[in-house]
């Protein structure tokens, strides 16, 4: 075996290959060109926006359709001046920029107003039509309220309000808050009874001074003459009132001797004397 340790052969070093790389200069214009386009676009957009806004500011100050005529249709409780004050409208305003919905909401804040309809008619007119609530009775709930024909308690009575309506008792504000649905249904039933009394023959609404409601029993009428209790109960109001109307005139001469009358039967009337 050859002894390489004693050999005179020496390995020569090989120089590594050297490749000369030529670096090209960076073309900054290539990268700046899209950025320049973006900056130019933003600038044009800003200039255009500013121009449009300036035009809008000028145009917005020009009133093309100036309000000249305000037509108001209402009932007996609200004056024209009160309605215009609620609506916040007056001649000279721009007809186009008027917010009719907001005007209507403001008018509806008055308790007398049941519905409101507002229309604009170019070039210079606004029409406001008000439907007012119609009181049919007074409800005593601690405070005294008007009751409308739909069973809505809608207004606290103030000095000067009319009092010549039948008085409804037996309701209270606490029940109106705790059981609004049940109380509303009972008030609607009260209005049905009032309607029947307005329409039926000899015994009419003018003969009634008070209608008392009891949640368990129903309704009791008190006559204007002598405050005689007339028990009606609940249900079949037309039949009960019609039967009572037949004998009412005959009972007028006996009122002082009668304690109460009970109509809460299908085919008879109980007259309790005492």
- Structural domain contains residue 107: yes
Judgement on whether residues 76 and 194 belong to the same structural domain of the protein: no
Residue 198 vs residue 185, higher pLDDT: 185
Of 57 and 119, the one with more pLDDT:
119
Give the count of domains, the chain.
2
18-45 pLDDT, tens digit each: 555 555 565 556 656 666 677 777 777 7
Contacts of 6 (CB under 8 A, 6+ apart): none
* Domain at 77, CATH number: 3.10.20.310
| 272 three-class SS | strand
Mean pLDDT across the chain, nearest whole number? Answer: 85
Residue 96 lies in a domain: yes
171 assigned to some structural domain: yes
Domain co-membership, 117 together with 190: no
| First-last CA distance in the chain | 155
Lowest-pLDDT range, 53-67, 147-161, 207-221, 234-248? 53-67
Determine the number of helices (DSSP H) and then strands (DSSP E) in the chain.
6, 12
Cβ atoms of residues 223 and 207 within 8 Å: yes
CATH number, domain of 160, equals 3.40.50.11690
Cα separation, 200 vs 263, whole angstroms: 15
- What pLDDT digit, counting tens, does each position of 121-172 carry? 999 999 999 999 999 999 999 899 999 999 999 999 999 899 999 999 999 9
Residue 59 has what pLDDT? Answer: 47
What is the pTM assigned to this prediction?
0.72
Q: Are 140 and 260 in the same domain?
A: yes
Distance CA 257, CA 272 (A): 9
pLDDT mean over 45-62: 62
pLDDT top residue among 106 and 21 = 106
Let me know whether 147 and 189 are in one domain. yes
Share of the chain above pLDDT 90, in %: 59
pLDDT tens per residue, range 70-101: 999 988 999 999 999 999 999 999 999 999 99
The answer as to whether 177 is a domain residue is yes
Would 175 be classed as within a structural domain? Answer: yes
- 126 and 140 in a common domain: no
Domain around 269: 135-273
pLDDT higher at 54 or 272: 272
pLDDT band at 111 (very low <50, low <70, confident <90, very high): very high
More confident residue, 47 or 214: 214
> In this predicted structure, which of 30-34, 200-204, 243-247 has the lowest mean pLDDT?
30-34
Q: Looking at the structure, tell me whether residues 228 and 244 fall in a common domain.
A: yes
Are 62 and 118 in contact by the 8 Å Cβ rule? The answer is: no
Does residue 203 have a pLDDT over 80? no
Cα atoms in the 13 Å half-sphere on the side-chain side of 174: 2
Percent of the chain at pLDDT > 70 equals 81
Using DSSP's 3-state secondary structure scheme, residue 256 falls into helix
Is the same domain home to 206 and 117? no
Domain assignment present for 157: yes
- Does residue 122 lie in a domain region? yes
Q: Are residues 151 and 118 in the same domain?
A: no
Same domain for 224 and 123: no
pLDDT, position 261: 95
């Amino acid at each position: 075996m050859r002894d390489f340790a004693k050999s005179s052969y020496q390995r020569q070093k090989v120089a590594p290959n050297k490749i000369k790389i030529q670096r090209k200069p960076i073309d900054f214009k290539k990268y700046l060109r899209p950025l320049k386009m973006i900056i130019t676009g933003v600038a044009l957009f800003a200039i255009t926006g500013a121009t449009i806004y300036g035009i809008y500011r000028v145009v917005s100050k020009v009133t093309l359709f100036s309000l000249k005529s305000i037509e108001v249709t209402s009932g007996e409780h609200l004056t024209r001046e009160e309605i215009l004050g609620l609506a916040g409208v007056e001649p000279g305003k721009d007809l186009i920029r008027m917010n009719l919905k907001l005007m209507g909401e403001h008018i509806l804040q008055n308790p007398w107003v049941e519905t409101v309809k507002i229309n604009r008619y170019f070039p210079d007119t606004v029409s406001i039509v008000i439907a007012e609530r119609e009181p049919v009775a007074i409800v005593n709930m601690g405070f005294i309220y008007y009751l409308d024909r739909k069973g809505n308690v809608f207004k606290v009575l103030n000095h000067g309000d009319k009092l010549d309506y039948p008085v409804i008792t037996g309701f209270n504000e606490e029940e109106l808050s705790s059981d609004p649905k049940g109380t509303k249904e009972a008030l609607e039933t009260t209005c049905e009874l009032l309607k029947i009394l307005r329409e039926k023959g000899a015994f009419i609404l003018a003969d009634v001074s008070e209608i008392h409601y009891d949640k368990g029993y129903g309704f009791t009428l008190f006559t204007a003459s002598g405050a005689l209790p007339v028990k009606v109960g609940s249900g079949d109001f037309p039949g009960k009132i019609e039967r009572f109307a037949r004998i009412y005139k005959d009972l007028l001469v006996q009122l002082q001797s009668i304690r109460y009358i009970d109509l809460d039967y299908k085919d008879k009337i109980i007259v309790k004397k005492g």
